[in-house]
Structure 1
Amino acid sequence: MKIYPNPLITQRADPFILRHSDGNYYFIASVPEYDRLELRRATSLTGLAQATPHVVWRKPASGPMSALIWAPELHVIDGVWYIYFAAAHSPEIKDGLFQHRMFALACSDADPLTGEWQEKGRIHSHLDSFSLDATYFNHRGRHYYLWAQKDPAIRGNSNLYLAEMANPWTLQGEPVMLSKPELPWETRGFWVNEGPAVIRRGQRIFISYSASATDENYCLGLLWADIDADLTDPAQWHKSPQPVFRTSYDNRQYGPGHNSFTQDEDGNDVLVYHARNYTEIDGDPLYDPNRHTRIKTLSWDEQGMPLFGEPPADNQ
C-alpha cells in the first residue's frame, strides 16, 4: 500500500480532489479564514502540496454569501466547471446553528484557475434552513445533488438529503432523506450527518458521511445501495451500524472526516479527508485552523465493501 506524505496539505479542511480527464488533479477545500475559494492543480496527487493556490472567488462584504465560506467542491457537468459551497449572511448563530445556505458558481472556460466564474445563486431545497456540504454525481445518466440540511422537526443539526437536478443549480422533484443522526457515534457532542461523498464499485453505490461534533468525536459512517436500485427510495439504502473511519489514539489522528474520493495515477481508489493531530482545542473547533488534508489508499474486501482502515500517523 502506498505511503503518502501526511499531512499532504496543512490547514485545509473539508478537502476535495478531482481527477480530471485533462490528466490533472484539482484541489479545493475550506481555508481557515472562510473568506475565499481557491483552486490548486497538479499532475500528481502529491504535487498538490506544492501547487500554487489560485483564488477564483472572494466573499462580498455583505449579502447572503458574505460570511463563513465552507466546504467547496469542484465538479464538471456537461463540460462546464461548477463549484458548490455553503455560505452565510452573518457569522452569528441563531437557534443553535449557523445560517448557511447552498450556492453555486460556474465557469465555461477551459482553465478553471484563470477562467471567469459566474455566480449562479442559491440552490433552493425543500426547506429554508441550515444547509451545506453539497456534492454532485451522475448515475445512469441522471444528475443527483446530495447534501446536509436541518429539518426543524427532527432532532439534530443536519440530515442527508438526495434529489435529482433540473440543471446544475436547480433541483427537481421532492428531496428524500437518506439518513439522520440516530446512533451513539453519530450523536456525540452534536447530532450530525454531513459531508456526504459518493463512490461506486461492482454492484454497489456507496455514500460516506461525517458524524458527531468536529472534535475527536468526528468520524465517518457509510450508506450503500444496489447499483441498479432507485436511489431516491430511502428503503434501498443500508446503513453501517458502526463508524467506518474514526479517531486513532495510537496514531494521534483525531476527528478524521469530511472526506471525498479520488484515484491515484494507476487508478486505485484514494480516500481524501481531514484530521487534527491533537485534541487540545481552544474554543470552538470550527475556528481551530489545524484540520489538515490527508490522503490514504482505500482498499476493498472480497465482498466488495470498502476498507477504510485507520488514519495513519503523521510522517512529516
Structure 2
Amino acid sequence: MAASLPLAACSKSEPASDADAATAEDGIINPLILQRADPWVYLKDGYYYFTASVPEYNRVILRRSKTVAGLSDAEERVLWNAPKSGRMSGNVWAPEIHHFGGKWNIYFAAGEGDGEDPFRIRTYVLQADGDDPMKADWSVIGQLQTPWDSFTLDATSFEHKGTRYLCWAQKEDGIDTNSNLYLAPLDTPLTFAAEPVRLSVPTLPWEIQGYKVNEGAAYLNRNGKVFITYSASATDARYCMGMLTADENADLMDPESWTKSPEPVFQTSEKNKVYGPGHNSFTVDQQGRDLLIYHARNYKEIEGDPLFDPNRHTRAQLFTYREDGSPDFGVPVKNGPMPKA
C-alpha cells in the first residue's frame, strides 16, 4: 500500500547552513532524517545503525555512521524487499536491529498486500548471515511465536541482568483495545523461555485518543531503575509517549513491579510546531550523553488516514534526569540545530 510523497510539505523550515551545523550540539540538525518513521538507532562497536519505517511500507532499510549526525546523509541499504503478494507483502512497519546470540537480528511487522489483508499484522525476524550487517545477506527466519495469533507489532529486545527479553505490542482477545504491551524472556529470536506477561493496557484518556494503543516500547536502565517508554493513541498530533517504571532489581516479569506515569512524558509542542512525537528509541552521543530518538511531523492538519501521510521525520534531542532519577524529556525541540539539554 504505497503512500504518495508530498515532499514540499516535509522539508525543513530552512536549509541547514554552515552556521547551523556549527551551533548544533553534536552537529545534529532537526529533522535528522526526513520521511523515516518509527526510528531505531543502535550503537555497536563505534557505529550507529539506523533503521525505520519507509513511507511505502514495502522494505527494510539500514544506515550506518560513526556519528548520529552522520546518519542524516549516510548511505541507505535495502536489506529486504516485501514479496508482491501473500504474507509480509504489505505494511512493513517498525524494524529494529539488535545483535545477540552472536547474530544480527531485525524484528519487523508486516501484513498482506493490496486486495488481501494488509492489517493482518504479525511480527517476523530477519537474520544476517555475516558479521557486517551492511554487507551480509539477510533472510526471514520465521514469525514470532506468541501465545495467540493476532495483530502483533513493535517488538524490541534488551538484556537486563543477564536475561534477554522481548517487549512487544499485541491485540488480545477479550480486551477492548487495539494493542497492549507484553514482556517475555527469549529462548531464541522467535520463541520465549517463559509465558509472557501483560505489562500495560491503554486505559488513561491520553492513551485512547482515536485508537486504544500502547505500542513502540523502548528500554532504558538508569539510576537504579528500568524505564520502558511507549507510544499511545492515534498516529496524528495526539500521538504521545508514556512510561513504565520498575526498580532495576525487581522481577520484571511481575506486572506489580511496574508503575505507569499518569500523564504523557512527551507530547506535541504547538509552540515549537512539532506534532505527534513518539515511537522512540534511545542511544548515547559521542560524549556518552543520553539521546532521545523519535519521529514527529512539522504540521498538525492531515488529509486522510495519518498512517499514509509520509511526513513523520526522525528527530533527536538530549534529555536530563529529575531528582528521583526518572528521565525528563522536556518538550520536542523546534526545527534547526539541536540545543543542549
Normalised by the length of structure 1, the TM-score is: 0.96
Query: Of 206, 225, 236, which aligns to 1:215?
Result: 236
Q: Which runs of 5+ in 1 are unaligned?
A: none
| Aligned counterpart, 1:13 | 37
Distance, in Å, in 2 between the alignment partners of 1:250 and 1:138 is 38
Shift of 1:2: 3.2
Query: Of 121, 132, 136, which aligns to 1:111?
Result: 132
Corresponding residue SS for 1:173: coil
1:89-168 mapped onto 2 (5 Å cutoff): 89-91=112-114, 98-168=119-189
Contact 1:92/1:98, CA 8 A, preserved across alignment: no
Contact 1:92/1:99, CA 8 A, preserved across alignment: no
The answer to whether structure 1 residue 47 and structure 2 residue 47 are counterparts is no
Corresponding residue SS for 2:230: strand
Query: Of 256, 263, 272, which aligns to 2:284?
Result: 263
Distance, in Å, in 1 between the alignment partners of 2:193 and 2:302 is 41
Figure out how many residues of one structure are paired with residues of the other and give that number: 313
Corresponding residue SS for 2:177: coil
Distance, in Å, in 1 between the alignment partners of 2:320 and 2:119 is 36
| Aligned counterpart, 1:33 | 56
Shift of 1:264: 0.3
Q: Which amino acid aligns with 1:183?
A: L
Deviations 1:59-101 (A, max 9, x none): 111221111100000000022110000001235697xx92100
Q: Which amino acid aligns with 1:172?
A: A
Query: Of 266, 286, 298, which aligns to 2:319?
Result: 298
Deviations 1:223-251 (A, max 9, x none): 01010111110000010000000000011
Contact 1:200/1:206, CA 8 A, preserved across alignment: yes
Distance, in Å, in 1 between the alignment partners of 2:115 and 2:331 is 35
Shift of 1:11: 0.2
Corresponding residue SS for 1:48: helix
Q: Which amino acid aligns with 1:33?
A: E
Shift of 1:205: 0.5
Deviations 1:178-220 (A, max 9, x none): 0010000001111100000000002100000000000000000
Give the RMSD, CA atoms, in angstroms.
1.5
The answer to whether structure 1 residue 193 and structure 2 residue 249 are counterparts is no
Corresponding residue SS for 1:273: strand
1:223-262 mapped onto 2 (5 Å cutoff): 223-262=244-283
| Aligned counterpart, 2:87 | 64
Contact 2:112/2:119, CA 8 A, preserved across alignment: no
Normalised by the length of structure 2, the TM-score is: 0.89
Shift of 1:172: 2.7
Contact 2:91/2:119, CA 8 A, preserved across alignment: no
Corresponding residue SS for 2:88: coil
Distance, in Å, in 2 between the alignment partners of 1:93 and 1:307 is 43
Contact 1:156/1:192, CA 8 A, preserved across alignment: yes
| Aligned counterpart, 1:77 | 100
Q: Which runs of 5+ in 2 are unaligned?
A: 1-23
Query: Of 290, 298, 314, which aligns to 1:277?
Result: 298
Contact 1:272/1:296, CA 8 A, preserved across alignment: yes
